[in-house]
Amino acid sequence: MSDILTTGQCLCGNVTYTLKGEPIRMMQCHCKDCQRATGTGHLNNAFFKEEQFELQGQVKAHEQTAASGNTNIRYFCPECGSRIYNEIAARKGIVGIAVGTADNNEWFEPAGVIFCKDRPSWDLTTSEVPNFDEMPPPPPKQ
Ligand SMILES: [Zn+2]
Ligand SMILES: [Zn+2]
């Protein structure tokens, strides 16, 4: 749990972080919000407990109401705009790391692909893990 999994940073390097231990859950999301927030066809998200995530530097928060009605808070570097992580207001204590910002992200293995109804035809994600049209049922209690 205390082992360092990876460090990570934004594009300009003003925001850095350290992740410890193993992710709780890993997903790829094709929803339109993730497409707009990343500018790509999907977001690769790895979820960790807050205490596994150590952030250095200033981030700016953007709050938005998701389709589920939950408030999704996305944190990004105010200098270069790299999106670092997000939190769901109703589920504080869990952070979703934008995996591309991790220095080493070879450990990433999505357990599922969600919001496949919005998957662009040119953005191929794996069908070797469960694909869901929208949001799957919540994971079993940790
Ligand atoms: Zn930056
Ligand atoms: Zn999404």
Quote the ligand 2 centre to 34 CA distance (angstroms): 4
Q: Could you tell me if residue 127 is inside a domain?
A: no
Q: Could you tell me if residue 136 is inside a domain?
A: no
Q: Tell me the residues surrounding ligand 2 (ion) with CB < 5 Å.
A: 29, 31, 34
pLDDT at 23: 98
Ranges in the chain, pLDDT < 50: none
Provide the CATH number for the domain around residue 80. Answer: 2.170.150.70
Its domain, for residue 23, covers 4-118
Q: Could you tell me if residue 13 is inside a domain?
A: yes
Number of domains in the chain: 1
Q: What is the pLDDT of residues 96-128, one digit of tens each?
A: 999 999 999 999 999 999 999 999 999 999 999
Quote the ligand 1 centre to 142 CA distance (angstroms): 33
From 98, 134, 108, 129, select the one nearest 119 (Cα to Cα). 134
From 112, 103, 104, select the one nearest 44 (Cα to Cα). 112
Q: Which ligand is nearest to the Cα of residue 84, counting in written order?
A: 1
Tell me, rounded to whole angstroms, the distance of Cα 136 from its chain centroid: 16
